[in-house]
């Protein structure tokens, strides 16, 4: 976990920029009732704000990593250094 936090903090400027752009892809969506919702946008946007302001929890760092993998699905924007198609397995291990 410490390696992930260090990587994200060392690359914060790039990650913040990419995540803000990524949040715009969630500008609005339809919820299960077919109503417009901006919850996904607000969720990602607030995550980026916490990163930018140094307020991330361990769970936030895992969520940031998840979004990086999602952004990298078609094209590598942020290289995490993991082999292609290899997601780290946090399983049910406690986060320190």
> Residue 39: what pLDDT?
80
Q: Which ranges of the chain have pLDDT less than 50?
A: 83-87, 90-96
Please tell me the distance from the alpha carbon of residue 69 to that of residue 33, in angstroms, as a whole number. Answer: 29
Which residue spans within the chain are E strands per DSSP?
29-30, 36-37
> Residue 41: what pLDDT?
83
> Residue 80: what pLDDT?
66
User: How many residues does the structure list for the chain?
Assistant: 96
> Residue 34 to residues 9, 26, 27, 39, 41: CA-CA distances in angstroms?
38, 15, 15, 14, 17
> Residue 81: what pLDDT?
66
> Residue 94: what pLDDT?
40
Asked whether the beta carbons of 29 and 40 are under 8 A apart, the reply is yes
The percent of residues above 70 in pLDDT, for the chain, comes to 74
Please tell me the distance from the alpha carbon of residue 12 to that of residue 93, in angstroms, as a whole number. Answer: 25
Asked whether the beta carbons of 17 and 71 are under 8 A apart, the reply is no
- Computed over every residue of the chain, the mean pLDDT equals 80
> Residue 88: what pLDDT?
52
């Amino acid at each position: 976990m410490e390696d992930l936090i260090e990587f994200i903090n060392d690359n914060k400027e790039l990650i913040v920029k990419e995540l803000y752009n990524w949040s715009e892809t969630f500008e609005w969506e339809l919820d299960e009732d077919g109503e417009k919702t901006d919850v996904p946008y607000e969720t990602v946007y607030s995550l980026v704000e916490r990163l930018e302001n140094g307020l991330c929890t361990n769970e936030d760092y895992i969520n940031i990593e998840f979004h990086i993998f999602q952004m990298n699905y078609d094209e590598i924007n942020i290289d995490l250094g993991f082999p292609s198609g290899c997601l780290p397995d946090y399983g049910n291990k406690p986060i320190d």
